[in-house]
């Protein structure tokens, strides 16, 4: 199905999974507004997509900052005149073993990983209603099985999954669909800031393109029967909405 002329916002589109999502969506014809705090990585993503059928427009903004969020939606509407999708992909992480958490660290994490995505969805809601749009929240297998020090991050992703379910329960007749996608380890800057090759060999990490494909399926309507759910993508080539199945697959993959 051609997505030519559809428009979406991808936060964190300058690197890792976000960049792969933008490459996939713009190839499918989506016009993408890509958001991040650093301009250079966003420009690099845009230049990688120069020959795709959809346009890619970078916007420097911080999703954790309420003042920036309104500008993101306004810019998407000015640029493309409609909004068909939001991919809440930007996130913060870092190892924070309990009980060394500080309230300042937790607040920063929640602002980026939960409150920013919620603010974007709320601001975009009238436009999503108009287009019958779709929301994809990039969650994490850390909700079900965090590795040591990663639980505070997992906590924020559990809240993001809660937003996916809330939209499904409270707005089921709106025509807007929401999904969470919860990847296992994916080869990105974020992963390598947490674990090195000896702790997690590259062969045990997924390619960002795998998560991009699941995201694109959601935005194109190929996963409508899973709307409102968490799509667990724990290991290469496997997606399930069953959390137990996801954990079993993850355990087998990492012990083999
Ligand atoms: N890699 C994995 O193994 C893995 C596993 C499960 C889930 N995930 C999730 O996948 C998503 C993408 O992560 P990644 O692994 O691709 O990491 P990444 O390469 O570090 O990407 C994170 C992106 O988010 C942007 N970002 C961070 N804070 C932001 C803010 N306040 N405002 C706007 N943009 C912000 C960053 O750009 P700037 O720094 O320029 O702002 C960066 O481009 C995240 O939601 C992550 O939690 C990753």
**Domains along the sequence of the chain with CATH:** 7-255 (3.40.50.720)
Per-residue pLDDT tens for 193-239?
Answer: 999 999 999 999 999 999 999 999 999 999 999 999 999 999 999 99
Three-class DSSP category at 136: strand
pLDDT at 1 over 90: no
* pLDDT at 86 exceeding the cut of 80: yes
Mean pLDDT of 140-159: 97
Any alpha helices (H) in the chain, and if so which ranges? 16-27, 39-48, 66-80, 103-110, 116-131, 151-170, 189-194, 208-220, 243-255
Index of the ligand 1 atom closest to the CA of residue 194: 3
Instruction: Report whether 178 contacts 167 (CB < 8 A).
Output: yes
Tens digits of per-residue pLDDT, 31-60? 999 999 999 999 999 999 999 999 999 999
pTM above 0.95? yes
CA of 117 to the centre of ligand 1 (A): 13
Please state, rounded to an integer, the average pLDDT across all residues of the chain: 97
Contacts of 136 (CB under 8 A, 6+ apart): 85, 86, 87, 88, 89, 178, 179, 180, 181, 215, 218, 219
Asked if pLDDT for residue 92 goes beyond 80, the answer is yes
Give me ligand 1 centre to Cα 90, in Å: 4
pLDDT band at 3 (very low <50, low <70, confident <90, very high): confident
Please say if 153 is a catalytic residue. yes
């Amino acid at each position: 199905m051609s997505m030519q002329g559809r428009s979406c916002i991808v936060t964190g589109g300058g690197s890792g999974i976000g960049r792969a999502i933008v490459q996939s969506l713009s190839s499918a014809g989506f016009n993408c507004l890509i958001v991040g705090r650093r301009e250079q990585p966003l420009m690099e993503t845009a230049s990688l997509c120069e020959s795709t059928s959809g346009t890619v427009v970078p916007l420097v903004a911080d999703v954790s900052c309420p003042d920036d969020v309104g500008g993101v939606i306004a810019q998407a509407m000015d640029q493309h005149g409609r909004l068909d999708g939001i991919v809440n992909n930007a996130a913060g992480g870092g190892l924070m073993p309990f009980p060394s958490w500080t309230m300042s660290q937790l607040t920063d994490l929640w602002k980026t990983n939960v409150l920013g995505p919620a603010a974007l969805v709320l601001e975009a809601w009238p436009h999503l209603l108009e287009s019958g749009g779709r929301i994809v929240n990039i969650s994490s297998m850390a909700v079900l099985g965090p590795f040591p020090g990663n639980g505070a991050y997992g906590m924020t992703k559990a809240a993001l999954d809660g937003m996916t379910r809330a939209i499904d329960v409270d707005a089921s007749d709106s025509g807007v669909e929401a999904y969470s996608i919860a990847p296992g380890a994916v080869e990105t800057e974020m992963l390598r800031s947490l674990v090195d090759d000896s702790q997690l060999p590259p062969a045990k990490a997924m390619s960002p393109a795998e998560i991009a494909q699941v995201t694109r399926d959601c935005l194109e309507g190929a996963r409508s029967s899973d709307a409102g759910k968490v799509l667990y993508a724990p290991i290469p080539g496997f997606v399930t909405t069953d959390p137990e199945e996801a954990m079993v697959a993850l355990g087998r993959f990492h012990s083999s």
